[in-house]
Amino acid sequence: MNEYDLNEMRNEQGVYVNVEMTNKFLRKVFLNMVIGVLITTLVPIYLFGFNARLLYAIMPYFKIIMFAEIALVFGLSLGINKMSSGTARMMFFLYSLMNGILFSSLGFVFHPVSIFYTLGVALIMFIVIAAYGYTTSEDLSNYGKYLMTGLISIIIMSVINFFLKAPFLYWIGTVLGIVIFSALIAYDVNRIKKIAFQMANGDEEAMNKLGIIGALNLYLDFINLFLYLLRIFGKRRR
């Protein structure tokens, strides 16, 4: 094997991996994530902007859709090894579709212009932070436990404030949410890059499945960042 082959490099285990295979894996992850975000974006635009009758017909079933998508994402995350990558991809896109249906209700709460503005801010932040997570030489995996602690703190704070309705807790949770999910974007991109190098010479089907889970994680990071930013930039209807 040519040690100076520009198409190959060593991973952390000292094994030569194909750089093109690694880049192909990363492209698939981001492509699936982008498709998921596009689905979630275009569905509410269609329902709220062009087919209000269908939206009103679906709205009574929002709770069913909400519980169905929770079951779907857990089923995808926990059962990924028992399904094909094609099935996993379809489940991810279906989850994105369900989210899009639920997000159609945002148009009743916020002015559409402020929603698109917030979406643009979230997109710019995602690109910048993802670029950092990809290019940094630092191993961000050490921050995982802190991010998980922060995520749990947000959930607990949200549950408490559901009953208290305290404005200061609302804004603390908002700022904390933006910080945590911004950090998670860098963390997940960095982790996906490491997985790409570790699995570059592995089974393609296994890599495709890992790619779907990676896309799901990045999708969730982006969507949650958008929702927390919407608390700040969203202009509520009166």
In this predicted structure, what is the pLDDT of residue 2? 44
In this predicted structure, what is the pLDDT of residue 163? 94
Q: Is position 5 within any domain? A: no
Query: Number of folded domains in the chain?
Result: 1
Q: Is position 121 within any domain? A: yes
Give yes or no for residue 15 having a pLDDT over 80.
no
| Interatomic CA distance for residues 55 and 59, integer angstroms | 6
Q: Is position 229 within any domain? A: yes
Which residue range is the domain that position 171 belongs to? 14-233
Q: Is position 81 within any domain? A: yes
Give pLDDT tens digits for 52-77: 999 999 999 999 999 999 999 999 99
Q: Is position 3 within any domain? A: no
Query: In this structure, what token pair is assigned to residue 143?
Result: 């921050």
**How large is the average pLDDT for residues 141-167?**
94
In this predicted structure, what is the pLDDT of residue 102? 97
In this predicted structure, what is the pLDDT of residue 3? 42
Q: Is position 217 within any domain? A: yes
Closest CA to 55 of 67, 64, 46, 68: 46
| Interatomic CA distance for residues 137 and 126, integer angstroms | 19
In this predicted structure, what is the pLDDT of residue 196? 83
Q: Is position 9 within any domain? A: no
Q: Is position 195 within any domain? A: yes
Q: How many beta carbons lie within 10 A of that of residue 210, not counting itself? A: 22
Closest CA to 174 of 157, 187, 198: 157
pTM of this structure: 0.91
